[in-house]
Structure 1
Amino acid sequence: MLTALESLLPVLVVIAAGWAVRRFGLIDEAGRTGIDRLAYYVLFPCLIVLTLGLADYGVLSWRALGATLFLSVVTMGALCLMLQPLLRSAIGLEGPAFTSVFQGATRWNTFVALALAGSLFGTEGLTLIAVAIVAMVPVLNLMAVVVLSHYAGGARPPLLVLVREIARNPLIIACVIGLVLSTTGLRPAGPVAATLDILGRAALAIALVAVGMGLDIRALRRPRARHLIGTALRLLVMPLIGFGYATVFQLSGAALGTAIVALAAPTAANAYLLARQLGGDDRLMAEIITLQTICATVTLPMWLTLLVVV
């Protein structure tokens, strides 16, 4: 229990530092955008390529982990769709607002998960989170776009366009490169490995600062039912679903811990951008992102502590 809490505390402190940087105007909005892009397009791909390229897959429960995460995401998506008529009649959650609750319940903040898994489980945790990216990112993007197109009335992109966008995702590309390097025996070494290592080390700190800079506590109105439901589904129900599948697939150790970290992390910050692009309720999305990130400072330690007890 103490180890989990000690590992999470530095992550929370760095996120808080990012919030302070924005709050006191040390970096403007343009600078924040640049930091986001640097982490997403350069630093994290370098970290993933190095981690996957050097991984020993013979000792990893990657198949069971991938199945657990994929099925958890699909199950949560199906649950949200089944709840939609009830939420509409009970709290007036109409189309665009429902899409924000849906994204809030299903998507995950890769930055937070990578940093926490690395802190808890070291290189093995980073490798397992890369497996999680492969298992979750394509299906999450597909689900989010389809739900936004249907419920928010946005233009539905052709399937080919959607597939191309997923294929162009820098994290997916990095996973493919890392897997190819590992399976072909062309593992990163020498100056190449050293360069990737330097950039990868920068990734976690900069990404967490970016998460903190994205928090806008003042924009969060008094939480309403829609905020609380979107947060509870993500931070409480999703880990329970994942734990059920993890039990079926007999996950344990770092693989089990990584699965729970991936499923208990707050929703993705770029869910806001997708909501804006496809006609969702972007204001509600921003508020759910902020509320989840704040609440995760309590729920993530809770889940990690329960894992130790179990």
Structure 2
Amino acid sequence: MRLPKMTAWLWLEVAVLELLLALWPLFALIVAGYYLRRLAFPNEAFWPGAERLNYYMLFPALLFSSLATAPLDNPALPRLALAVMLALASAWLALLLVRRLRGWPAGRFGAFAQGILRFNTYLGLAAVGSLFGQPGLTLAALMLALMVPTVNVLSVWSLTAERGVSVRSLLLPILKNPLILACLGGALVNLSGLGLPGGSDRLLSLLAAASLPLGLLCVGAALKPEQLGGEVPALVGNSLLRLLAMPSLAWAVAYGLELPAMESTVLVLFFALPTAPTAYVLTRQLGGDSQLMAGIITLQTLLAAASLPLLLMLVAG
């Protein structure tokens, strides 16, 4: 009876080691970005420019190339679409109920909603690539094509609900989002059958290769630990909901739909990611509680260093 038990423990140790080996370089880049900015290296003007370069050029190149070559007839797509929409709809309905009970104004509700619904895409794709390689990145790109527009619509609505929102003001940020445009363009190229001729695939792969490490450095540079001093219960509660409750919801949906192992893991991973640093920019632009949003982003990113390996280990088990 001892041999199976020892074998199971050995497998668990190997799985944990593989997860740590895949994830620790990602968080090392985040920490490096934090200290580089605090040391003013290369200079303060570098980081906003790096964020814009990544957001408008490098990261869209990664999404475009992934979807342009993805098998859009993949049988995983309908399953993933159903799983993503079920999980997001459940979370959104719960948020609306809590808002009604607590009476949150739109500025505060928008920060809480983004803390629970949005996700750090850079960290997610880097983790999926480390764990599953190109097949995982293809699944992740399909998921992003579904999640990015949906989450952006809900984020804008949550921040503007009290003022009323027109269709134009709701859709304009979506239509101008470079990530959404890249997903749409990649899907259209894929469906057209044109492919990526004339070395364009190599150009896109070079741009994409620079995206994830630069994105993780920028995530670290955007951390603001000084924002963690106020509203501790709100920050902790929001972080626990995002990092523990949301992946639990995703796991329940994946289990109910009987998703295959890799699809389940990718789904849970994206629902376990800390919220997106760009949520701070949107919150500030739309008059939300930007200080609360900055605190949520920072605390979730710090806690994710512990929660992500634990959750992935449980899902893999």
- Check conservation: 1:43, 1:203, Cα contact below 8 A: yes
Secondary structure, in 3 states, of the residue corresponding to 2:277? coil
- Is 1:72 matched up with 2:87? yes
Secondary structure, in 3 states, of the residue corresponding to 2:288? coil
- Is 1:37 matched up with 2:46? no
Secondary structure, in 3 states, of the residue corresponding to 2:258? coil
- Alpha-carbon distance change, 99 to 165 in structure 1, aligned in 2, over 3 angstroms: closer
Secondary structure, in 3 states, of the residue corresponding to 2:259? coil
What residue is the counterpart of 1:299 in the other structure? Answer: 307
State how far apart, in whole Å, the 1-side matches of 2:61 and 2:116 are: 29
Report the RMSD for the aligned CA atoms in angstroms.
1.8
State how far apart, in whole Å, the 1-side matches of 2:99 and 2:72 are: 40
Q: Out of 22, 34, 49, which is 2:37 matched to?
A: 22
Q: TM-score, normalised by structure 1?
A: 0.91
* Alpha-carbon shift at residue 168 of structure 1 (Å): 2.1
What residue is the counterpart of 1:283 in the other structure? Answer: 291
- Check conservation: 1:104, 1:230, Cα contact below 8 A: yes
* Alpha-carbon shift at residue 119 of structure 1 (Å): 1.1
- Is 1:47 matched up with 2:62? yes
How big is each residue's C-alpha offset from its partner over 1:62-96, in whole Å with a ceiling of 9 and x where there is no partner?
A: 221122122212211111121224445xxxx6553
What residue is the counterpart of 2:71 in the other structure? Answer: 56
* Alpha-carbon shift at residue 56 of structure 1 (Å): 2.7
- Alpha-carbon distance change, 132 to 59 in structure 1, aligned in 2, over 3 angstroms: closer
Secondary structure, in 3 states, of the residue corresponding to 2:45? helix
Q: Out of 238, 246, 254, which is 2:246 matched to?
A: 238
- Alpha-carbon distance change, 156 to 31 in structure 1, aligned in 2, over 3 angstroms: farther
Runs of 5+ unmatched residues, structure 1: none
- Check conservation: 1:101, 1:229, Cα contact below 8 A: no
- Check conservation: 1:124, 1:254, Cα contact below 8 A: no
- Check conservation: 1:52, 1:179, Cα contact below 8 A: yes
- Alpha-carbon distance change, 29 to 159 in structure 1, aligned in 2, over 3 angstroms: farther
- Is 1:109 matched up with 2:111? no
Q: TM-score, normalised by structure 2?
A: 0.90
Q: Out of 172, 180, 187, which is 1:172 matched to?
A: 180
- Is 1:123 matched up with 2:131? no
* Alpha-carbon shift at residue 305 of structure 1 (Å): 0.3
For residue 259 of structure 1, what is the amino acid of its counterpart? L
Moved over 4 A (4+): 85-88
Aligned length: 302
State how far apart, in whole Å, the 2-side matches of 1:95 and 1:137 are: 21
- Check conservation: 2:157, 2:170, Cα contact below 8 A: no
For residue 105 of structure 1, what is the amino acid of its counterpart? I
For residue 3 of structure 1, what is the amino acid of its counterpart? E
Larger radius of gyration: 2
What residue is the counterpart of 2:215 in the other structure? Answer: 207
How big is each residue's C-alpha offset from its partner over 1:132-178, in whole Å with a ceiling of 9 and x where there is no partner?
A: 2221122212112222112xx4x444212322321221111111221
* Alpha-carbon shift at residue 226 of structure 1 (Å): 0.7
Runs of 5+ unmatched residues, structure 2: 1-14
State how far apart, in whole Å, the 2-side matches of 1:85 and 1:53 are: 42
Secondary structure, in 3 states, of the residue corresponding to 1:251? coil
State how far apart, in whole Å, the 2-side matches of 1:165 and 1:85 are: 26
- Is 1:251 matched up with 2:251? no
For residue 266 of structure 2, what is the amino acid of its counterpart? T
